[in-house]
Amino acid sequence: MSKDKRKYSSEIVDGVKQAPSRAMLRAVGFESEDFKKPQVGIASTWSMVTPCNMHINELAEFAARGADSVGSKAVIFNTITVSDGISMGTKGMRYSLISREVIADSIETVVGGQGFDGLITIGGCDKNMPACVMAMARLNRPSIFVYGGSIKPGENRTDVVSVFEAVGKHSEGSISDIELLDIESTAIPGPGSCGGMYTANTMASAIEALGMSLPNSSAQEAVSKSKLHDSEGAGQAIMHLIEQDIKPRDIMTKAAFENAISVVIALGGSTNAVLHLLAIAHEAKVQIGLDDFERIGNRTPVLADLRPSGNYLMSELIEIGGIVPLMKIMLERGLLDGKQLTVTGKTLEENLSQFDSYPQNQEIIMEVDKPIKADSHLRILYGNLAPEGAVAKISGKEGLKFEGTAKVFNSEEDAMEGILSNQITEGDVLIIRYEGPRGAPGMREMLSPTSAIMGKGLGDKVAFLTDGRFSGGTHGFVVGHITPEAYDGGPIALVKNGDHISINAESNQINLDLTEEEIKKRKESWVCSVKDEEGGVLDKYRALVTSASEGAVTTKK
């Protein structure tokens, strides 16, 4: 193999001076002929921390087998994972978004240090997936992402969100202790990512639309022959990228990000996609901002009837063909740019031409002319409560406008106590603040309180605002990512109980009914309620992180 195919590994293993390096590599399984092959790092996010990732070791082995079969030398290494679903509602959740940066840093560190010529990453949970692609963008070496796959449905079509919402029902007395235990015991049947169009499936779909995965990698169950084939296929495909020197930034163009945003909207995906796509674009050195989501959202309908706002699970979408037929529909209607390059070495349009359309009479994906919502459910809001922007997830089922009086809490724990003790009533605008990237620190997700609200039957009767973020499983009239955040003295820090707030998802406005003079007066007397006493990685993150409107990243522009 010529040295130009081993652009990085040749520096590690060639020549007399590198005999010590070769000696150490022989100990981990290299043979003499392997030093002449391109080296492919396979970043596995396997761990027993969460069902999302518990099977990924096998996928990594299949990817390695595929890479080895086409003349490269695969080297598997691991990185961390933090489970959102397990840490949700606790102080542990502060580490979730932080883990995205740690994972990206760790993959970059290993690949840069070891001199790999190509990279395959395998992710299966909310933060390790964008982290994998962020690392790929930074390194800009031939790379492919493999999605770990979606979980099978639980008993009676339940999933993890069913358990969170059951907590709210239990506090209302509408289900018993035994019924709660039954849901808890059967909703998560085995390996795979949460089964609706929550953050993991949203990001897998976005990454595929971005061109960084093989076709339909996003729409395969975790435990399936198709997922093993996908993993092995990624290993085989990496050599072509190395030979042709096709790198992530050749694929992740501005138009490719626009494709990803369009697909997220059509699927009714998670608000976290906004945060993560901004972060990936930052690492890819592509200019994407909140206004791009608004612009693309004005022309892109919501077509998928998927949970949490809809009725169907990811496993049911997989049965009818996944997201590839959806992208074919969108391409035909001018909603995607088919000329964009992908990791197959072909364009998106060329990839899609090889697949069939959806079967007739399926009820999951609507026709473009008969959408669930004519424009995006992801609304970018501005106003005196969010001068630098906020992200709302409004399907339309909750209505498009809300006016009410503020009920303010300075932490998620205080808010949960208020919800479960019936302090939140119809017409309230529940505010949870000091939960932003710097305030928490770590920008916790609010699935526990939103699920409790849904469980109590208040989903269309109250609004919920935060400078934190929402789980992909959240639904209801919710607005997150409010910037500037409370920790930085943003207007959300100045709200008092009883203040009148108006939210309009048609004009994309979110306003506090106060004069500029009153806001200024409150700001002058404001004192941050958060004490900087965290230490460790929390302090590092707080010192480096940008605002949510910039993707909450920790690397410089």
User: CA angle at residue 340 from 338 to 344, to 5 degrees?
Assistant: 105
Q: Which CA distances in Å does 235 have to 8, 29, 230, 244, 323?
A: 18, 18, 9, 15, 22
The two structure tokens encoding residue 16: 């007399």
Please state the φ and ψ torsions of residue 365, each to the nearest 5 degrees: -105, 120
List 471, 525, 529, 547, catalytic entry? 471
Q: How many helices (H) and strands (E) does the chain have?
A: 21, 12
Q: What is the dihedral of CA 92, 94, 96, 98, to 10 degrees?
A: -130
β 39-44/143-147 pair status: unpaired
| Contact of 132 with 45, CB cutoff 8 Å | yes
Distance CA 251, CA 210 (A): 8
The answer to whether residue 471 is catalytic is yes
| Contact of 220 with 49, CB cutoff 8 Å | no
Distance CA 518, CA 541 (A): 33
Collapsing DSSP states into helix, strand and coil, what is residue 379? strand
Distance CA 255, CA 248 (A): 14
User: CA angle at residue 88 from 195 to 474, to 5 degrees?
Assistant: 50
The two structure tokens encoding residue 524: 């002058």
Angle, helices 128-139/272-284, rounded to nearest 10 degrees: 10
Could you write out the DSSP letters of every residue in 110-155? HHHHHT-SEEEEEE-STTHHHHHHHHHHHH-SSEEEEE--BPPP-G
Distance CA 105, CA 125 (A): 17
Active site residues: 471
